Every structure is written in C-alpha cells, then in structure tokens.
Amino acid sequence: MFEALLEGLFAVFQWPAIGFLLLGVLLGIWLGAVPGLGGIIGLVLLLPFTFGMDTIPAFALLLGMFAVTSTSDTIASVMLGIPGTAASQATILDGYPLAQQGKAARAFGAAFTVSAFGGVFGAIILAVSLPLILPIIKSFASPELFVLGMLGLAMVGSLSGGSILKGLTVAALGILLSTVGYGEAESIPRFHFETDYLLDNLPLIPVVLGLFAIPELMELAIRNVSISRVPKDQTEGGGMLEGVKDVFRHWWLALRCAAIGTYVGMLPGLGAAIVDWVAYGHAVQSAKDKSKFGFGDIRGVIAPEAANNATRGGSLIPTVAFGIPGSLGTAILLGALLIQGLKPGPDMLTTELHITFSMVWTIVIANIVAAGLLMVWSKQVAKIAFLPGHLIVPGVILFVFLGAWLGGAAIGDWISCLAFGIIGYVMKRGGWPRPPLILALILGNIMENAFQISMGAHGGFGWLSRPVVLIVIALIALTILLSARGITKNKAAQKADADDPASAVRQEASEGGARNPLLSLPFTIILFVLFTWAGLQAFAWPESVREFPLMSAVPGAVMVFFVLISDSRQAYAEIGKHGGLSPALAAAFDKALLNKASMFFGYLLVMILVMPFIGQKFALPLFILVYLIRWGGYNWRIAGGYAFGGWLMIVGFYDRILDMLWYPSWLDSWLPELLPSWLPRWFFV
C-alpha cells in the first residue's frame, strides 16, 4: 500500500497533471465563491473536456476544482450570510457575525487554515483507514441512514436559534416541503397545486438563495450600512494572522472535526449534507463556555470548515470502491471513472490503488494551494465588509437571481427565490432559524427513500432494534437534551444582561435570536394551518405515499401548537406594554423595518415582471441602474458604469462561458431582425 501511496503522489506532480490541477483550483475558487454556482456546475462544465485525456490529469482537473469549492464557499458564508454550498451552512452562524463585527479577515484566516488542515488530515486518516472502511460502510444500510438524517436535523434544529421548538418545527417544515412533487414509492404527485413546475420537487438553489441572501441584502439596503457594523479603525483582533493563531489554539477541536468529516463523508447520500452540523454540534457540546456560539465564536467557524474539507476524501471511497455515489457531485465523478475505462469496485482498492491514492493526493494538494491563494486574496475580499451597503446589494442581487436561474431555467425559479426571500425575512425578523429548513429540504428525499426501503425490507418497524440505529437514536435524545440545557443557561445569562444594549443587539442579530412576537405570531398561525391542511390532504393518498408527509405534518402541527401558545402570551404582553393593539403593531412593524422591506421586495417584483418583456440581459442591469439612482442616491455615471459592468458579466460569463438558456422575452421576437449583421444577437437576447 505504501508503494501505491508514493506512486499516486508522483503521478500527480508529473506534467500535465499538476498543470490541470492548478487550473482546476483556480476555477474552483471562483465557482465556490459565487452564490449559486458551486462544484456541481463546475463538474458539468469540465467533464466534456476530459474526454480523451489520461486518467490522472483528468481527475486532477475535476477534483482540483471540486475539492476547493468547499473552501472558497466560505467567502459567501462569512461576507453575506449565504451558504455558498450545502457544506457551509453551519459556518454562517458564527462567520457572518464575525464579519458584522469587522473581523471577516480573522474568520477567513481561521477557515482557510483549518480547511487546508482538514483536507490533509482527512486524506491521511483515509489512507490509514482503508482496511477498516469496508465494514464501516456495510454497517450503514437504509435504517442507519434514515436515523442519521434525523440526527442531523436534531442538531441543526436544536443548535440554531434560541428555541428548540422553533428549530425542530422549521426542520419539520423543510421535510414537508421536500415531499412536494412525485412520491418516492409511487408516481403520485403531492402538494403540487396542479403546477408542472412543482412536479419535480422544490428547486433547492432558488430556495437557499432566497431564504438567506435576500433578507441580508435587504437589511444592507434599508439601513445603508456596510456588512461590518464596526468602523474599520475601531476593530480589534480581527486580522488574518489572528485567525491562523486561533486554529493552533483550538488544534484539538480541528483534529477531532477533521476525523468526523472523514468518516461521516464516507456515508453515501448523507455525508456532505450533515457533516458541518455534526461538527458544529460537537464543538458546542464539548465547549465549557457555550455562550458565544452564534454571536461570532471562532470555534463555530473552525469546526464545520475542518469537517467539510475532510469530507471530500471520505466521499470518494463509496464511489470508487462500490460504485455508490453519495451525492450529485460524486455521481458525476463516477461517470468520469467510467469514461476513463475504470470499473468501480475492489480493483480500485487493489490493482488500481495508485489511481485512488492519486485522487486523494489531488484533494490534499488542491486544499493547500487554495488555502494559500485565498489567504492572499481574502485580505482584499475582507475589505468589502467596510464598503457602503448600496454598492454591494445590486451586484449580489445579480449573482443571486442568475444563480437561481441556473437550477431549472424557469421563471418559477425567480418567483421561488423572491417568495422564499419574503419567508426568510419574516423568519429572521420573527426569531425563526432558517438553516433547519434548508438541511431538511436537502435530506428529505434521501430520508424518505431510506425509510421506504427500511419498511419494505423489515416488514414494518423491526429495523428500529438494530444496534447502530439504537445508538444514533440515543445520540438524538442526548443532542436535544444538552441543547435544551444550553439554551436554558443562555436565556438566564440574557436576562442577567437585559440592561446591556450591546448584548441585546447581538441577540437580535443572531440566527433565530430576534424577538418580535407580533410578527412571529401570524407566521406561527400560518404554519399551524399548513401542517394541519397537509396532514388532511395526505390521508387521501396510498399508505406508502402519505407516510412521510404525515411524519412531518403531525409532529410539526403538535410542536407549532406549543409555539403558538408561547407566541400568543408574548404578543399579549407586548400589546399590554404598548397600551393597545395598534401601537403595538406599529412598534413591531417599525422594529421589523416592514415599510422599507416592502419597498425593497417591490423593486425585485418589478424586475421579475419586466423580465418577460425585455429579457434578463436588460432586466438585471436595469434593476442595478434604478436601484443605485433612486435608492442609493448615486449619480448617472456611477450607476451607469455599474449597470454596464453587470451586463458584461451576464453576457461574458453566464451567456458565453456557461451557455445559459435564457427566458424567451418579447424583445426576442423583433429585436434580432433590426440588428446589423455584424453585431452579435447574443449581446442583447
């Protein structure tokens, strides 16, 4: 095995493999940093270029790109509070608050250092563990995958926000939304409202971007503030070097989380989706002082970033050894293996072991190179945190809506993005955590498939007695118990600091920490009605089709009922405090910035309504122009230059490089005929 290890290393450093690896790293940094792109888009774009290439250079290009997207996605998570990919969801809980404190560079320093460490350490652990991997993977069948998904949901539901009930209710909502479209067991459509767009499930990317990006951008627009709420000359301890030192201070945490990432990453279908939450939960539960998590604790950046980079190596094993892709990304890599004439199976761990090791080495080298490059570049990226918010909003909106369009190239993607932007705004302002919804939406179909297989294979619920299942169920109960105790202690500490304005501001800014019962109460009522209606609808379907919707609707209705009681009491107290319903509502709406938020959503709605007439290549630059002039107060020269730059990005990158399929607008029907023959029509339509 040692000879194969060295042979794989030397093969990666030979030309042209090393050149393709560096090219892949550069592409991966860009794709990971831009919201809505990510490694999947990169693999789809690069796969055709590997036809005819030798095996090791081909995988150097693909894996060099794919491995580093989980490093560069930290930029969006920290700077904008948007999960760059599914593997960086947990990073936003403490990374974005650090950016708001003017310490984005510190978060980057810690994240990129620990990402390189996690990738290298995970690969080493993987190499040492190869003889143990087969029994580990075989011990996880469908029942274990189902309860492991439940563990991930329990962790994210109980760790994000100040209320476990709200967190778990949102997780139940995410599971319910994942059942939209055809069922896993039978081709019977569920909750699709006679709309073809919803037959193939809710699109993930528009939902993620709407839920996280739009509320944060709206706040920058309304308050006209920079990402950092602290002036640059008043920040302390926020430098890049400080973040690097943080990793060495918490080296034992980084080590443990890298090991978690490696082994959880081996589990087909679940690894990449839950690993950052498992690591984050471990960091919180193993910490003596939990009070700073969610408010900018550097450990909340170190733990998920160490784990999600170590996952890349682990996820290769079920793909190359058993031909079981654990995600869409590894499914594409499996296709690349077959294109190269390699057959997944025992040969990849015996006669072709050097190729397997070359893939692992590619991930190691890519992580180190990417971390070094990002260390240099992120010093400049961190300065964006101090730019005026009005200069950030229109550019990010362009990437958000084009990222949403990449999913299905349907106008429904833009509508979904805006709709979940409104939902995300209400959740953020009403004290409802958003991460559980996204994780549940990702895991829903995987868990339903595992549940149906388990029920069929064991003739009922007999699989609940399996040893690994019982262990994971015990971990779920322990997670909720420890989280409840931690939240109780935090609430006691918040009461003690009730007179401290800075503490109150931090609490309001944290994920799920806002307190506005008169905004939360209507949302709670809507959720209760939704869960009840969904449960009643499900009874009309066959048993195999209704089981999973009922598993989310019934517990969701019960939990949201108790939230409804709590919100009603708090709302009644607020009404009494302000001397009546009208003044209480006025105060609640003012606190939630409802009037200006409605205006911001109106700008986006007008952009969507105009798009079918003039097309996306004009609608988005027009939004930039109008926003900067009317909302931002900038002159025509700045606004026009910004809008022209946006148009160049749309045409040059999204049209020419990604070859995006655009919406057929009214402009398309007559403008090309008026253009001179020497002027390319793709400039405009």
Read out DSSP for 611-661? HHHH-HHHHHHHHHHHIIIIIS---HHHHHHHHHHHHHHIIIIIIIIS-PP
- Can you give the pTM of this predicted structure? 0.83
- Which residue, 191, 152, 74, is CA-closest to 439? 152
Residues 132 and 245 in one domain: yes
Domain contains 563: no
Angle between helices 55-72 and 2-13 (to 10 degrees): 80
Q: Percentage of the chain with pLDDT > 70?
A: 86
CB atoms within 10 A of CB 321: 20
Two tokens, residue 499 = 């007179």
In three-state secondary structure terms, 193 is coil
Q: Which of 104-108, 128-132, 456-460 has the lowest mean pLDDT?
A: 128-132
Distances (CA, A) of 642 to 363, 402, 605, 649: 37, 17, 21, 11
User: pLDDT tens digits, residue range 68-116?
Assistant: 887 787 888 888 787 766 667 788 888 888 888 888 888 888 888 888 8
DSSP letter at 84 equals S
Residues 161 and 20 in one domain: yes
User: What pLDDT, on a 0 to 100 scale, did the predictor assign at position 185?
Assistant: 72
DSSP letter at 661 equals P
User: What pLDDT, on a 0 to 100 scale, did the predictor assign at position 502?
Assistant: 47
In three-state secondary structure terms, 238 is coil
Residues 198 and 51 in one domain: yes
Domain contains 546: no
Q: What does the alpha-carbon distance between residue 685 and residue 673 come to, in Å, rounded to a whole number? A: 12
Domain contains 596: no
Cα 219–chain centre separation: 20
Q: What does the alpha-carbon distance between residue 441 and residue 151 come to, in Å, rounded to a whole number? A: 15
pLDDT, average across residues 221-227: 77
Residues 509 and 633 in one domain: no
Q: One-letter amino acid identity for 443? A: L
User: What pLDDT, on a 0 to 100 scale, did the predictor assign at position 423?
Assistant: 95
Q: What does the alpha-carbon distance between residue 295 and residue 653 come to, in Å, rounded to a whole number? A: 36
CB atoms within 10 A of CB 562: 12
User: pLDDT tens digits, residue range 660-678?
Assistant: 889 999 998 888 888 888 8
Residues 137 and 246 in one domain: yes
In three-state secondary structure terms, 37 is coil
Q: Are 32 and 67 in contact (CB under 8 A)?
A: no
Among 476, 495, 515, give the residue marking a domain's end: 515
User: pLDDT tens digits, residue range 529-565?
Assistant: 999 999 999 988 888 888 889 999 999 999 999 999 9
Domain contains 476: yes
Residues 622 and 510 in one domain: no
Q: What does the alpha-carbon distance between residue 537 and residue 80 come to, in Å, rounded to a whole number? A: 38
Two tokens, residue 173 = 């909502």
Residues 66 and 206 in one domain: yes
245: pLDDT strictly greater than 60: yes
CB atoms within 10 A of CB 630: 11
Q: What does the alpha-carbon distance between residue 406 and residue 75 come to, in Å, rounded to a whole number? A: 20
Distances (CA, A) of 443 to 175, 270, 461, 608: 8, 7, 20, 30
CB atoms within 10 A of CB 137: 17
Q: What does the alpha-carbon distance between residue 282 and residue 155 come to, in Å, rounded to a whole number? A: 9
pLDDT band at 498 (very low <50, low <70, confident <90, very high): very low
618: containing domain: 611-683
Two tokens, residue 128 = 């040492």
DSSP letter at 626 equals H
Residues 504 and 629 in one domain: no
- Please give the span between the terminal C-alpha atoms of the chain, in angstroms, as a whole number: 56
Among 497, 515, 533, give the residue marking a domain's end: 515
Q: What does the alpha-carbon distance between residue 385 and residue 396 come to, in Å, rounded to a whole number? A: 13
Two tokens, residue 215 = 């509320």
Q: Which long-range contacts (CB under 8 A, 24 or more apart) does 644-648 make?
A: 646/394, 646/395, 646/398, 646/620, 646/621, 647/617, 647/618, 647/620, 647/621
DSSP letter at 213 equals I
User: pLDDT tens digits, residue range 144-171?
Assistant: 878 888 887 887 776 666 688 898 899 8
Domain contains 345: yes
**Tally of domains within the chain:** 2
Mind giving me the DSSP string for 264-277?
HHTSTTTHHHHHHH
Q: Are 488 and 291 in contact (CB under 8 A)?
A: no
Q: Are 106 and 242 in contact (CB under 8 A)?
A: yes
Non-local (6+) Cβ contacts of 504 within 8 A are 497, 498
Residues 30 and 165 in one domain: yes
Q: What does the alpha-carbon distance between residue 102 and residue 107 come to, in Å, rounded to a whole number? A: 10
488: pLDDT strictly greater than 70: no
User: What pLDDT, on a 0 to 100 scale, did the predictor assign at position 229?
Assistant: 61
Among 479, 499, 515, give the residue marking a domain's end: 515
Domain contains 603: no
Residues 511 and 624 in one domain: no
213: pLDDT strictly greater than 80: yes
User: pLDDT tens digits, residue range 346-378?
Assistant: 677 677 778 877 888 888 888 888 888 888 877
User: What pLDDT, on a 0 to 100 scale, did the predictor assign at position 51?
Assistant: 76
Two tokens, residue 391 = 């200069």
In three-state secondary structure terms, 608 is helix
b/e map 104-119, b = 16+ CB within 10 Å: bbbbbbbbbbbbbbbb
Domain contains 115: yes
610, with CB counted inside 10 A (0-12, 13-18, 19+), is: middle
In three-state secondary structure terms, 195 is coil
Domain contains 597: no
